[in-house]
Amino acid sequence: MAAVSVLIPTYERPEALVMTLSGVASQTVANLQVVISSQGRHRPEDSPVARAMARVIEARGGSVEWHHREPRGIAEQRHFLLDRAEANHALFLDDDIFMEPSVIERLLSVLQTEDCGFAGAFPAGLTFVDDVRPDQQNIELWEGPVRPEVVEVEGAGWERWHLHRAANLYHVAQKLVLSPGEFLRYKVAWVGSCVLYDRKKLLEVGGFSFWKELPRYHKAEDIVVQNLLMRRFGGCGVVPSGTYHAEIETTTFSPEGTVEADAVDLLPGLVERYVG
């Protein structure tokens, strides 16, 4: 069995996907099941460079599978990908993220040590490297084990999301005095783009099965599952994250750049169903 299932939803981002796959191909954890699902007009596996990266992943002991499907929205994409996952740990990785070689190893060590629901490595947007925002750089480190916690919408813990704006987390990491390879765990409101889940725990809170309750163009599906997991099992981010964002336009919104629903509106009912 693979050590980690790397699940990549993609939509019309051929160049960024190659960047993402190059990071996957360089990971110190090489026994990876990589599943790529496209809902775009084009098949990403038609790219010779993407296929070359897939061959590198396979040569290092991993596997790669490609899927091309009708567009039904990002929550349904994640639901489909989770169904394909075989490993005990599933990394949801956006198609515009570059990972340094130790990222998966680092996140895996957190889940194995803490037995929590998820650990995330939020990417830096390096166009903001000179945009330092001290008022948005408050970080709450975990002292001791990661514990379950309730983060209410618009409550105090919700404000932690500011740390994940621009390059704030990157700037925080630059100020830390750490040994090579050392990292810290911190409290989050949620983490986007690169998140390793305990697959069984994710399924215990329903995974992304709520996708049928959403229109195609929506947002915050990952916020919902992470909020449920934090309530039952805990979750965290890691710093330094070792991830970087391509900073290209989102492809999950409508052609007009809008969404039709916010998945957070489903949270109260899901909390009652899966948390009690």
Domain assignment present for residue 152? The answer is: yes
Domain assignment present for residue 58? The answer is: yes
pTM of this structure: 0.97
Domain assignment present for residue 252? The answer is: no
For residue 252, pLDDT over 80 is answered with no
Q: Dihedral, CA atoms, 40, 257, 134, 123, nearest 10 degrees?
A: 0
Q: 115: domain range?
A: 4-247+268-274
CATH of the domain at 60: 3.90.550.10
Predicted local distance difference test score (pLDDT) of residue 249: 82
Domain assignment present for residue 229? The answer is: yes
Domain assignment present for residue 243? The answer is: yes
pLDDT band of residue 71 (cuts 50, 70, 90) is confident
Tens-digit pLDDT profile for residues 179-206: 998 999 999 999 999 999 999 999 999 9
pLDDT band of residue 15 (cuts 50, 70, 90) is very high
For residue 130, pLDDT over 80 is answered with yes
Predicted local distance difference test score (pLDDT) of residue 90: 98
Domain assignment present for residue 144? The answer is: yes
Closest listed residue to residue 190, CA positions, set 215, 217, 155, 214: 155
Mean pLDDT, to the nearest integer, of 27-51? 95
Domain assignment present for residue 258? The answer is: no
Give the count of domains, the chain: 1
Mean of per-residue pLDDT scores for the chain: 95
Task: List, in sequence order, every beta strand (DSSP E) within the chain.
Answer: 4-10, 32-38, 63-68, 89-93, 97-99, 118-120, 184-186, 194-198, 218-219, 235-239, 243-245, 261-262
Domain assignment present for residue 256? The answer is: no
